[in-house]
Amino acid sequence: MMGETTPQSREDEAPRLARTIVLVGMMGAGKTAVGRALATRLGVEMRDSDAEIVASSQLSIAEIFERYGEPFFREKESAVIARLLEGEPCILSTGGGAWMSEGNRALLTERAAVLWLKADLELLWSRVRHKTTRPLLRTSAPKKTLTELLAAREPVYALAPLSVHVQADWSIEETAERVLAVLAEAGAVEGYAR
Ligand SMILES: Nc1ncnc2c1ncn2[C@@H]1O[C@H](COP(=O)(O)OP(=O)(O)O)[C@@H](O)[C@H]1O
Ligand SMILES: O=C(O)C1=C[C@@H](OP(=O)(O)O)[C@@H](O)[C@H](O)C1
Ligand SMILES: [Mg+2]
């Protein structure tokens, strides 16, 4: 009968990505964790530019910075992002510095739906302070370094077309739901019903 929803047609109406969804934002904002939850929620692949670089080089991010320096890491990061954008639409979590490159911004803006996970300093600090995995914070005053990085980068993150201001009392799942709602509103995810 017309208008009746069969199981098959419901399946056809499952949320669908119009383009790859890219999460940008500071270290500790939750790009990797929320990206993973988002991908599970949508039933699509989740890729993380840092994880791709680690897998292909067989070195940790910290080791890459130590041995070859940040410019080398940034080259790899840009190459990984360009390669992943060639594939099927997916969730792509970037490293915090990826969006600082004008070339990356141009490519991502053209080819993907970019969402900034905005987070305040104290929340970021609470999430990164006990980790040793982020070479840029291996300074004598890491909180000051994080503060300065945030101040320098925030105007650039603000160029992202979409954003969600994450809150300390949101779970990873709840954050993913809120991100999804913003993406659906922007038309980046089709067929999403809460
Ligand atoms: N509600 C939350 N949203 C995002 N991350 C959270 C949350 N609660 C705890 N975390 C933790 O914060 C840390 C930083 O998250 P991560 O996804 O690595 O950030 P990023 O990739 O943006 O640097 C991880 O250990 C993550 O599990
Ligand atoms: O902000 C940055 O410049 C970086 C963030 C890290 O990723 P996360 O943002 O996922 O921690 C990682 O790419 C590298 O340590 C550099
Ligand atoms: Mg990450």
| SS3 call for 25 | coil
- Ligand 2 pocket: which of 46, 50, 53, 91 to mutate (most atoms <8 Å of CB)? 50
Question: How many Cα atoms occupy the beta-carbon half-sphere of 149 within 13 Å?
Answer: 24
Residue ranges of domains in the chain, CATH in brackets = 20-186 (3.40.50.300)
pLDDT tens readout for residues 143-183: 999 999 999 999 999 999 999 999 999 999 999 999 999 99
Q: In this predicted model, which residue has the larger pLDDT, 14 or 92? A: 92
Residues with CB under 5 A from ligand 3 (ion): 31-32
Which are the contacts of 132, defined by CB distance < 8 A and separation ≥ 6? 62, 138
Atom number of ligand 2 nearest to Cα 62: 15
Going by pLDDT thresholds of 50, 70 and 90, the confidence category of residue 15 is confident
| d(C-alpha 104, C-alpha 109), whole Å | 8
Name residues contacting ligand 1 (CB within 6 A). 25, 27-34, 93, 127, 170-172, 175
Q: What per-residue confidence (pLDDT) applies to 3?
A: 47
CB 179 within 8 A of CB 6: no
Q: Among all chains, which residue has been given the structure tokens 């080259």?
A: 75
ipTM metric: 0.98
pTM of the model: 0.94
Task: From 69, 155, 165, 49, select the one nearest 115 (Cα to Cα).
Answer: 165
CA distance to 64, 70, 132, 139, per residue, from 67 (Å) = 5, 9, 16, 17
Query: What is the distance between the alpha carbons of residues 141 and 162, in angstroms, rounded to a whole number?
Result: 32
Other C-beta atoms lying within 10 Å of the C-beta of residue 173? 14
Which amino acid is it at 8? Answer: Q
Q: What is the pLDDT of residues 106-136, one digit of tens each?
A: 999 999 999 999 999 999 999 999 988 999 9
Which residues on neighbouring strands pair with residue 189, listed in sequence order? 17
Which pLDDT tens digit goes with each residue over 49-61? 999 999 999 999 9
pLDDT at position 9 is 45
- Give me ligand 1 centre to Cα 101, in Å: 23
Please check whether residue 36 is in contact with residue 178, taking contact to mean a CB–CB distance below 8 angstroms. no
* 8 A C-beta contact, residue 92 and residue 118: no
**Token pair of 129 as six digits:** 């302070």
**Residue 20: which of 106, 125, 108 has the closest Cα?**
108
